[in-house]
Amino acid sequence: MSTDSNSKDYSKHNRIKIHQPDAAKADRFNPRNRIYVRAVEGLWTNVRRRMGWVAMLFFLILPWIPWGDRQAVWFNLSEQKFHVFALTIWPQDLTLLAALFMIAAFGLFFVTTYLGRVWCGYTCPQTVWTFIFIWFEEKFEGARNKRIKLDKMPWSFDKIWRKTAKHTSWVLVSLLTAMTFVSYFVPTREVYTDVFTLSADIDIYFWVLFFTAATYGNAGWMREIMCLHMCPYARFQSAMFDKNTFIVGYDAKRGETRGPRSRKADPKELGLGDCIDCDLCVQVCPTGIDIRNGLQYECINCGGCIDACDTTMERMGYAKGLISYTTENKLDGIKEKVLRPKLVGYGVVLTVMILVFIYASATISPVRMDVIRDRNALYRENSQGNIENTFTIKLLNKTEQQQVYSLSVAGLNNAQWIGPDSVTIDGGKIMTLPISVAIDPVELKRSISDIYIEVSTEIEGEKVEIKQETRFFAP
C-alpha cells in the first residue's frame, strides 16, 4: 500500500468505519481463515492479563462462598428466589433486577463514551476465555511461527500429541466453566457431587454439556468471529463514540512514511517516519486488524498493538507512543474535552440509578401481603346480625428465618377479626389464610367503606409493619 493511500485512509479516522482490507489481507474476514495471535509483553498486556485472571477467579470462587445455610450467590429458579449475599430478590422485586441491568447498561455507555471499548479488551468473557485458550495453545504448540508451521505439517506423532493435549485442556477448561456457571443456579456441591457420581438430573447434564460445547466453540474456534460478526456491541458502539473518546490510535503524522531501516540509520535522511513496517501490531491483534489504517469497529481496545509497537520503538531508540491510547482530537492537534454533554448525561443518569437502587434495596420489605376479596359474595349477614366480608390473605416471609406475624384490621370502629390473628411462617414460605371481617350495621355510615388489613412482626429487634387497603361492602 502506498504512502498516499495510507494517508488517505487515516484522514478518515474521525469516523468508525468498516475497514476495507487490501487483497492480501481480505481473507481475515473469512470465518475459515485462522488468526494466529502473537504473544506480546508490556504494560497493557499485563494489565489485561491480571484483570482477566481476577475476573476468572471471581467467577470460579463466588459460588463456593457460604452464606448461612446456602451459598452466597444462588439464583434459585425452582423457588423463584435470587440470593445475592444478604439480599434475596423475589419475583415481586424483579424491578430491582431490571434496575441492576439498566445500571450495567448505562455503566457500559458511560465507560464506552469515555474510554472506548475497554470492556471488550479487558473484561469481556469472550476476550478473557479466548486469551486463556491461546495461553494453552502457546504452551503445547509453541509461539506464533511454530503454530503456523505445525498446522502446515503432515500429521505425525508430535503433531497428534500436541493437538490432543491442547484440545483436552480446552475441554477441561470449558467443562469447569460450564459446571461453575450451572452452580449459580443449582447448589455448587450438588452439581459437582451428582455430575461425577452420575446421579445428576438430565437437565443438569444437558446444561453442563451445552455450556461446555459453547465455551469450547466460542473461545477455541470462533474467537474473533464472535467479535466481528456476532457481537451487537461492535455495531452500535459508534453511537457512543465522539472525537474525545479514548481509542487505540496510530499517529500517522509521526509514523508515515513507513518502511524498514537499520537501527543506526537516520529516518529523516531516508525520508521515513518512525514506523518500520514490522507488522507486529497486526500479528498481536486478536481480531487481525491493522490499526495503522485508522479507527475500525473491529478494534477491541486491548492495547496489544501498543505494547508491540512500544517494544519496537524502544529497540530502535525512538520515543514510545507511536500507537497509544489517545483521542481523535489529540491526533488532529485539537485540544481534548473531558467533560462533554453526552458523558455528563450518562454519568448523571448512572449516578441517579445507582442511588435509587441502593435506596430500594435498603428499604425492601421483608414481608409481602396480598389481600383478595371473596368474589362469590360481596357480603353476608351472620348469626349475630353483623355484616361480614370474607377475604383471602397471602403472606410471604421474604427472610431466611421463621417469623411470627400479627394480623388486624383498621379503618372502621369496632370491626371484628374472625380468624387467626397470629401466624408463624418459615423462611421463604407463603401462607394462605382465609379470614372474615364483621361489623355491626350501626357502625356503618355508607355501603362501601375503606378498611386496612395490617400485618406486623419483629425482625432483629426492629418492628416491621405493612398494611393494604381494601373495601368493606354492606347493604
pLDDT at 32 over 70: no
- Write down the pLDDT at residue 68: 84
In whole angstroms, what is the distance from residue 153 CA to residue 159 CA? 8
pLDDT mean over 137-161: 95
In whole angstroms, what is the distance from residue 99 CA to residue 104 CA? 9
pLDDT mean over 380-394: 92
Q: For 287-300, write each residue's pLDDT tens digit.
A: 999 999 998 888 99
More confident: 445 or 255: 255
The terminus-to-terminus CA distance of the chain in angstroms comes to 92
Least confident of 89-103, 159-173, 343-357: 89-103
pLDDT mean over 81-105: 85
pLDDT mean over 130-144: 96
Q: For 255-283, write each residue's pLDDT tens digit.
A: 999 999 999 999 999 999 999 999 999 99
Q: For 91-101, write each residue's pLDDT tens digit.
A: 878 788 888 89
Going along the chain from its start, the domains and CATH numbers come out as: 29-95+121-232 (no CATH), 367-473 (2.60.40.10)
- Write down the pLDDT at residue 366: 86
More confident: 82 or 173: 173
pLDDT at 363 over 90: no
Cell numbers that stand for 181 in this block: 456457571
pLDDT mean over 431-438: 93
Say which residues have a Cβ less than 8 Å from residue 452's Cβ, sequence separation at least 6.
409, 410, 411, 467, 468, 469, 470
Percent of the chain with pLDDT over 90: 67
Cell 349477614 -> residue: 381
- Write down the pLDDT at residue 27: 53
Q: 401 vs 69, 74, 243, 465, CA distance in Å?
A: 11, 17, 55, 17
More confident: 5 or 252: 252
pLDDT mean over 26-37: 65
pLDDT at 445 over 70: yes
pLDDT at 473 over 80: yes
Three-state helix/strand/coil letters over the chain = CCHHHHHHHHCCCCCCECCCCCHHHHHHHCCCCCCCCCCCCCHHHHHHHHHHHHHHHHHHHHHHCEECCEECEEEECCCCEEEECCEEECHHHHHHHHHHHHHHHHHHHHHHHHHCCHHHHHHCHHHHHHHHHHHHHHHHHCCHHHHHHHHHCCCCHHHHHHHHHHHHHHHHHHHHHHHHHHCCCCCHHHHHHHHHCCCCCHHHHHHHHHHHHHHHHHHHHHCHHHHHHHCCHHHHHHHCCCCCCCEEEECHHHHCCCCCCCCCCCHHHHCCCCCCCCCHHHHCCCCCCCHHHCCECCCCCCCHHHHHHHHHHHHHCCCCCCEEEECHHHHCCCCCCCCCHHHHHHHHHHHHHHHHHHHHHHCCCCEEEEEEECCCCCCEECCCCCEEEEEEEEEEECCCCCEEEEEEEECCCCCEEECCCEEEECCCCEEEEEEEEEECHHHCCCCEEEEEEEEEEEECCEEEEEEEEEEEECC
Least confident of 7-11, 32-36, 172-176: 7-11
CA dihedral (395, 399, 405, 410) positive or negative: negative
pLDDT at 191 over 60: yes
- CA 175 to chain CA centroid, Å, is 20
- Write down the pLDDT at residue 2: 38
pTM for the whole thing? 0.82
In whole angstroms, what is the distance from residue 178 CA to residue 382 CA? 62
Classify residue 475 by burial, with Cβ atoms within 10 Å: 0-12, 13-18, 19+.
exposed
- Write down the pLDDT at residue 12: 40
Average pLDDT taken over every residue of the chain: 88
Say which residues have a Cβ less than 8 Å from residue 163's Cβ, sequence separation at least 6.
140, 141
- Write down the pLDDT at residue 234: 78
Percent of the chain with pLDDT over 70: 93
pLDDT mean over 69-75: 92
pLDDT at 345 over 80: yes
In whole angstroms, what is the distance from residue 162 CA to residue 165 CA? 5
pLDDT mean over 312-319: 95
